[in-house]
Structure 1
Amino acid sequence: MIVKARTIPLKLLILAAIIRRLPLSHQKYQAILGEFKRREAGYQGEVSLDYYLRSLPQEKYLILHDLNLPDGGYNCQIDTFLLTPEFGIIIDVKNMAGKLIFDTENEQFIQINNDKEKGYPDPIAQAERHKAFIRKWLAANGFPPIPIDYMVVISNPYTTYVVSGPNARNVKPRVCKGDAFLRKIQFFENLYSTSLLNPKELRKICRLLVKMNTPPTKFLLEKFGIKQSDLLTGVLDPCCNYLPLIRKKQKWYCPRCDKYFVDAHIAALMDYFLLFDMKITNRQFREFCHLDSIHTAKRLLMLSGKVNYSGIKKGRVYFPKVFPW
C-alpha cells in the first residue's frame, strides 16, 4: 500500500525555485542548474521503478516515497522506503549511463561514460548512514529493533556496473538493475522472515515518518553557499519569467509582455514555502510579493485555497494545507 505517494521530490522543487530566483550572474547559478538536471534524471529513474513496485503484495508492503528526515545538521533523504512486519528497506535509485563502479575498498562510486571518469558520493556509505539513522529513530520512539537494509537500483537498462573491493560480497546482493528488483526483494524476504511489527506499530511508524518530512532547504542552500538574501523576491510572470510583476487593476501586470494574471501569486507563495519558511505572516507575504495593502494581502492569502491559518490579528500565521500542492 502506498502511504506517501510519489510526487516531484522536494529537493528538485527547491532547486527549481532557486533557479527561478537566483540572478543569472550569480557564481553558483550553473552549479545549481547542473544539480537540478542530475536530480531531474534521477527522478525519472525513480518513476520507472514504480512498474516493479506495483507487483509487490499491497497487503504486506507499505511504501513511502521521497522522505526528507532532519537529523541535526544532516538531511536523511530516502528515494523510497519499504516497510513490512519483518523488515524495512531503503531504496536508492541511480539513473546513470555508461559503467558504474562500486569500489568498497576506497568507498568510492565512479561513473565511466564516453571515456570520461567522474566520481560521485558513495551510495553504499550513504545507505549505511540512513540505516543507522532509521534504527536510532525506531529505538528512540519505542519500536522493536527490526532489520533495516538497503538496495541500490540502477534504472538505466543499458548501464553496466561492477562491485569491487573487500566488502563486495556483502554489497553485491544489494545492488541490481531494475528488472532484477523483484528477485532481490525475494532475497530480503528469505533473509528476514520473522514478523516483528503489528499493524498498529506499522501505521504509527508511517504516520510519524510522514509528519517528520521536511523541505531540506537549508541543507541545499548551505551546500552551494547561497544566502536567502541572494534570492530575488516578487511575483514571477509564468510565461516570460519577468520579475517582479506589478499589482494593477486587482491583477498582476507584466510590463515586459503587457499581460495580466489573476493567480500568479500562488506560485510565489509556493516559492516562499520552499525557500524561506513553512509559515508566513501577512507582512512577510507583502514584502515577498511587493504588496502595499494589508487587506489585499489578506484577501489573496485567504482566496488562494492553499493555506490554513492560526492566530488572530498581528499574530496570525498562514501555512500550507497540503505541501507541495
Structure 2
Amino acid sequence: MLIKSSDDKSKRLKLLEDLQNSSTLNQDQKDWLRENIWAHRMGVQGEKDAAHYLDSYFRDSKNNAVIHDLRIEVDGQVAQIDHLIISRFLDFYLLETKNFNGNLAITEQGEFSVQYSGGRVRGIPSPIEQSKRHELVLRKLLEKLEVKGLLGLNPSFHHVVLVDPKATITRPNPKMFDSSHVIKADSFMTWRERFIDKSTTASNMFGTLLKIKNSDSLETIARAVAKVHRPMNLLELPDFMAPRPILRTTTPPEIQPTQPSKPEFSAPAEGQVKRYWCFTCGHTVTPAVFSYCMDRRTQFGNRAYCMQHQKDFPPVR
C-alpha cells in the first residue's frame, strides 16, 4: 500500500537556478550553487525512478506499506529517508537512493567512490553509514509511537542502497566487505526475496511470527509514521549564501588620488571577528574548526565543514 508520495521540490530547483543570475555572488557561492543544482536534479530523478519500481511492486500490497521522501525530526536530530518500506512482520527497510552519473566502486574497507566520464574519480560518503544514522532517529520515533510486535518484540531494520540500473558496481571481496545491500533500483524485489530466504531460520521465524501485524494495523503504523513528516523549507539557504554588498567609491574618477587608498572594509570592524561557514549546511564554524579542515585539505577538498559533516569524509591514508 502506498502511504506517502515524494514531495514536490520544483520550487527549490527554481530558487537555485534563479540565484545563478545574481551579480553579487562570489566564487564560493557560485561553486555551491553549481554543485547543489546538479545534486538536486540527480537526486530528484533518482528518487523518482526508484519510486516507480517500488510502487509497481508494493502499491497494491496488503502486506507492505511504502513511504517516499520521509523527513523526521526527533529530539533535535533529523533523518531524511528516501524510501521506507514496512512489512507486516515489522521489518523496516530504509532505502537510500544514489543516482550517480558514473560508475560506483566499493573498496574492501567499505569506502565508496564514483568514476565519471573522462576518468575523474570522486570519493563519496558511505550511503550505508548514512542510512544507519537515519535508523537511530527512526528508532527513537518508533519508541515514542510505541510501535512493537506481540510480546513487546522490537522492529527489525535493514539498509539498502539503490543505484541507477544503467550504472556499474565494482565490488570488493565479500569476505572483506559485504556489499550485497548495494543494488540496482530495478532489482529490489529479487534482492528482498533472496534476503528473506537467506536470513530465515527456524528460530528467527518464530520471533518473526510473534511480530506479525494484520493489514489494518500495518496501515495504522505506517500512517502514524508518515504523519510526523516535516518537509524541508524549500526556500531556506545557508547563511553564507546571503548576498554580499557591492562596494562603490564616492570620489569621482577624475579626481581619484594617484596613490590608491586602503580598500574600504578591508578588515573587520572593531569588535567583529572573521566568520567561517560549513560548506554543506552553512552553519558557522569556529576558527579552530576552519584551521583543522585547512590542515587536511586533501581529505576535505580545500573546504571547511562543521564537526557533524566532517564525518562524511573518511581520513586520507
TM-score w.r.t. the length of structure 2 is 0.61
The alpha carbon displacement at 1:226 in A equals 3.7
* Matched residues, number: 223
Paired residues of 2:73 and 2:137 also in contact (CA < 8 A): no
Listed one character per residue, the Cα deviations across residues 210-243 of structure 1 (whole Å, up to 9, x for unaligned) are 2222233399734x7445xx59xxxxxxxxxxxx
Matched with 1:181 is 188
Paired residues of 1:98 and 1:160 also in contact (CA < 8 A): no
* 1:88 matches 2:86: no
Paired residues of 1:157 and 1:178 also in contact (CA < 8 A): no
* 1:203 matches 2:219: yes
Code of the aligned partner of 2:228? M
The alpha carbon displacement at 1:204 in A equals 3.2
Unaligned runs of at least 5 residues, structure 2? 149-153, 245-317
Listed one character per residue, the Cα deviations across residues 228-271 of structure 1 (whole Å, up to 9, x for unaligned) are xx59xxxxxxxxxxxxxxxxxxxxxxxxxxxxxxxxxxxxxxxx
Code of the aligned partner of 1:206? A
In 2, the alpha carbon distance for the partners of 1:185 and 1:13 equals 35
The alpha carbon displacement at 1:68 in A equals 1.2
Query: Quick one: structure 1 residues 122 and 221, their matched pair in 2 at CA, closer, same or farther if it must change by over 3 Å?
Result: farther
Paired residues of 1:96 and 1:154 also in contact (CA < 8 A): yes
Higher relative contact order (CA 8 A, sep 6+): 2
In 1, the alpha carbon distance for the partners of 2:104 and 2:127 equals 11
Matched with 1:25 is 24
In 1, the alpha carbon distance for the partners of 2:161 and 2:32 equals 25
Matched with 2:49 is 48
Paired residues of 1:95 and 1:156 also in contact (CA < 8 A): no
Matched with 1:123 is 127
Paired residues of 2:71 and 2:81 also in contact (CA < 8 A): yes
Matched with 1:317 is none
Unaligned runs of at least 5 residues, structure 1? 232-325
Of the candidates 112, 132, 137, which is equivalent to residue 133 of structure 1?
A: 137
Correspondences of 1:158-177 after superposition (within 5 Å) = 158-163=167-172, 168-169=177-178, 172-177=179-184
Q: Percent identity?
A: 20
In 2, the alpha carbon distance for the partners of 1:62 and 1:168 equals 30
Query: Quick one: structure 1 residues 122 and 13, their matched pair in 2 at CA, closer, same or farther if it must change by over 3 Å?
Result: farther
Paired residues of 1:75 and 1:216 also in contact (CA < 8 A): no
Correspondences of 1:1-325 after superposition (within 5 Å) = 1-8=1-8, 10=9, 13-20=11-18, 23-27=22-26, 28-53=29-54, 54-56=56-58, 58-86=61-89, 87-103=91-107, 105=109, 108-113=111-116, 114-144=118-148, 145-163=154-172, 168-169=177-178, 172-190=179-197, 191=199, 194-195=208-209, 196-198=211-213, 199-217=215-233, 221-222=237-238, 225-226=240-241, 230=243
TM-score w.r.t. the length of structure 1 is 0.59
The alpha carbon displacement at 1:15 in A equals 4.9
Matched with 1:275 is none
Structure richer in strand, relative to its length: 1
- Aligned to 2:162, what secondary structure does the other structure show? strand
Q: Considering only aligned residues, what root-mean-square deviation do their CA atoms show, in Å?
A: 3.0
The alpha carbon displacement at 1:173 in A equals 2.3
Paired residues of 1:110 and 1:117 also in contact (CA < 8 A): yes
The alpha carbon displacement at 1:182 in A equals 1.5
The alpha carbon displacement at 1:130 in A equals 1.3
In 2, the alpha carbon distance for the partners of 1:148 and 1:13 equals 33
Listed one character per residue, the Cα deviations across residues 300-321 of structure 1 (whole Å, up to 9, x for unaligned) are xxxxxxxxxxxxxxxxxxxxxx
Query: Quick one: structure 1 residues 17 and 173, their matched pair in 2 at CA, closer, same or farther if it must change by over 3 Å?
Result: same
Larger Rg: 2
